[in-house]
Amino acid sequence: MDITEAAQGFAAMGSESRLEVVQTLVRAGDSGLRVGDIQERTGIPASTLAHHLKFLSAAGLILQEKDGRSIFNTANFAHLSALAAFILEHCCIDAEDRP
């Protein structure tokens, strides 16, 4: 992952509502949630939630799959893990030993 892709991913989570949606989907695990279930758990109005889901999907942070009339949303665990690894990749390499 390069710095541009990482910045886009972190920017996509840059609002409280979008971060709450991502956390809700992470808690739901691989089974994911329908839009109505996310709305129920977060209290985000439907029109606003649709905007946030579109934004998160475009950034690759969530995956959406249509099943009949329902759309299931799941956290993109691979991408989220890559973002976490990116931010921690060089952890402590410049740390100096203190006496």
Task: Please give the residue range of the domain that contains residue 21.
Answer: 3-88
pLDDT (0 to 100) of residue 99: 66
Residue 99 in any domain: the answer is: no
**Structural domain tally of the chain?**
1
Rounded to the nearest 10 degrees, how much is the dihedral formed by the CA atoms of 77, 21, 62, 82?
A: -40
Query: Shortest CA distance to 75 belongs to which of 9, 31, 41?
Result: 31
Residue 33 β-bridge partners: 73
Q: Is residue 23 part of a domain?
A: yes
What is the rounded CA–CA span in Å between residue 68 and residue 75?
20
pTM above 0.85, yes or no: yes
Whether 79 is covered by a domain: the verdict is: yes
Per residue in 48-95, pLDDT (tens digit) is: 999 999 999 999 999 999 989 999 999 999 999 999 999 999 898 888
Please report where in the chains the tokens 């934004």 appear, as a residue: 55
The answer to whether residue 93 is domain-embedded is no
Q: Rounded to 10 degrees, what is the CA torsion of 7, 10, 16, 19?
A: 160
Q: What is the CATH number of the domain that holds 7?
A: 1.10.10.10
